[in-house]
Amino acid sequence: MQLDPASGWCQGVRICPSPNFNARPEGEISLLVIHNISLPPAQFLTGKVQEFFQNRLDVTEHPYFAGIADLRVSAHFLIERDGTVTQFVSCLERAWHAGVSCFEGRETCNDFSVGIELEGTDDLPFTDAQYQALTDLTRQLQSAFTGITAQRICGHSDIAPGRKTDPGPAFDWARYRAALAKATQEEEEQQ
């Protein structure tokens, strides 16, 4: 996968454009927000997340869908259980992933963040393929948007405490941060 900073789109990933975005206000892209999602809850590789982000979800297919029928949301990326990466919105645009949120005193995190959804739940372990894809994608984002430092990577629960719990206790932050540090070091040694 290769992120084109000029367009904000990744080459080598599945592209599934969502209508749920708008223009970012002038300013930097300086935050990465990690989420989790599965539709129906705890069911994987259904294709329903893609349909949801494209406003094409058949709400009659599952009782849970009725409760989210009127939501218009998206993320920049989804990483499925098998490591497949799908992009819905250019990183240069404002995806609707964070909602009411605040990071270091700054509200409306959608304005300056990139959102990555991991297919999963708060309490089921994520896969090796997901951690690998997340690490690779994060390094692409950090190269393109230097404001996304290791200290500016957080969970949805960090910017919307009390309202959101994802990526949840099953997400292994230590593993992810160690893999990211190793990938960063290897890149620096190659330069």
* pLDDT score recorded for residue 190: 86
Tens digit of each residue's pLDDT (9 = 90 or more) over 56-108: 999 999 999 999 999 999 999 999 999 999 999 999 999 999 999 999 999 99
Confidence of residue 189 (pLDDT cuts 50, 70, 90): confident
CA separation, residue 95 to residues 21, 129, 184 (Å): 5, 24, 26
Query: What is d(CA 42, CA 39) in angstroms, rounded to the nearest whole number?
Result: 7
Give me the catalytic one of 26, 117, 119, 186. 117
* pLDDT score recorded for residue 118: 98
Residue 5 burial (CB count, 10 A): 14
* pLDDT score recorded for residue 26: 82
DSSP state of 134: H
Residues 36-52, mean pLDDT to the nearest whole number: 97
Residues 161-190, mean pLDDT to the nearest whole number: 94
**Complete DSSP assignment for 90-106:** -TTEEES-S-S-EETTE
Query: What is d(CA 32, CA 126) in angstroms, rounded to the nearest whole number?
Result: 18
Q: Which pTM does this prediction carry?
A: 0.96
CA separation, residue 134 to residues 90, 115, 161, 179, 186 (Å): 17, 12, 23, 10, 16
Question: Does residue 117 have an active-site annotation?
Answer: yes
Instruction: Say yes or no to pLDDT of 34 above 90.
Output: yes
Give strand pairing partners of 31: 113
* pLDDT score recorded for residue 64: 96
Residues 12-25, mean pLDDT to the nearest whole number: 97
Picking from 75, 76, 109, the residue whose alpha carbon sits closest to that of residue 91 is: 76
- The answer for residues whose C-beta is within 8 angstroms of residue 50's C-beta and 6 or more apart is 16, 78, 86, 88
* pLDDT score recorded for residue 187: 84
Tens digit of each residue's pLDDT (9 = 90 or more) over 121-162: 999 999 999 999 999 999 999 999 999 999 999 999 999 999
